[in-house]
Amino acid sequence: METGKTGRYLTYAIGEIVLVVIGILIALQINNWNEIRKDKKKEAVFLEQIHVEFTENKAQFLRIKGFHEKSLSSCIWMISHQPFKTVALDSLRHHSLWSRVSYTYDPSQSSLKSLISTGAIDLIQDVALREVLIGWQDLVDDYLEEEKEMREFTVNYVVPFSIQHFKLYHEEERFDAVLNFDQKQLDQYLNLIARKKRILEEILGGFSDKMNGESQSELEKVMTAMDVILERTRNPN
């Protein structure tokens, strides 16, 4: 008789334990689902922010690329039309200006930096996207090397030459002084333009990259990375 009661008590106790364990497992699973749901919401917010940021970054990049192409075209014009004895002054003014300007890419990265610095980058489930985002800064730094070289060249050589030889205080900058350059001045001027041309060709064409066996130039790598980021952050919900 006592043995039967003991058996029933054990069965009851085991049943209670099983129910408690099942309850705990269900609670843990529900909590896990809730955490996953919260993480997905956070991920969607980050992806939307990154998409907006890189939409603006790509638009800026294309504008700067267009400025580089325009400047390169003017450098080519200046070299091919020297010594400028038969050119229209308006054309000379236009191309001389564009051959001397420099622009640099300055992408917004606040959302991306926040994502990486807080460790929230792990919320990004798309492995390929995560790798591109992590490598973005290094990619931009590599690309900007040539642009920084062009900026330094412009500031250190082109601008001082312009200040010395052109009348910049007029409402419209005056470049007609180039028509009276002696050979030494003309050679100096054309050397500056030729150097600027080579830097622009490197930025736009990446000749050294291709010669070193790279399949893409730094500019092309940046474009490809932005396209991947924009495509994989589209419609995160």
- Please report the DSSP string for 93-139 in residue order: HHHHHHHH---------HHHHHHHHTTGGGG---HHHHHHHHHHHHH
Tell me, what DSSP letter sits at residue 172? S
The predicted model gives 65-89 an average pLDDT of: 94
Residue 134 lies in a domain: yes
34 belongs to a structural domain: no
Section 101-117 average pLDDT: 89
What pTM, to 2 d.p., does this model score?
0.82
pLDDT (tens digit, 9 = 90+) per residue, 22-67? 777 776 777 677 766 776 888 888 899 999 999 999 999 999 999 9
Q: Is residue 195 part of a domain?
A: yes
What mean pLDDT comes out for the span 73-83? 95
Query: From CA 107, how far away is CA 138, in angstroms rounded?
Result: 13
Whether 32 is in a domain gets the answer: no
Mean confidence (pLDDT) of the chain: 86
Q: Is 89 among the domain residues?
A: yes
How far does CA 126 lie from the centroid of its chain? Answer: 20
Domain extent for 163: 42-232
81 domain residue, yes or no = yes
What's the rounded Cα separation, in Å, for the pair 70 and 64? 10
Mean per-residue pLDDT for 195-216?
85
Q: What is the CA radius of gyration of the chain?
A: 32
Phi, psi (degrees; rounded to nearest 5) at 102: -145, 145
> Is residue 219, in this structure, part of any structural domain at all?
yes
Taking phi first (over 0 means left), then psi (-120 to 50 degrees means alpha), and beta for anything else, what does residue 235 get?
A: left
126 located within any domain: yes
Note whether 206 and 149 are within 8 A (CB): no
Number of domains in the chain: 1
136: confidence class by pLDDT, cuts 50, 70, 90:
very high
Average pLDDT over residues 106-114: 89
The residue assigned the tokens 């408690």 is 20
Percent of the chain with pLDDT over 90: 50
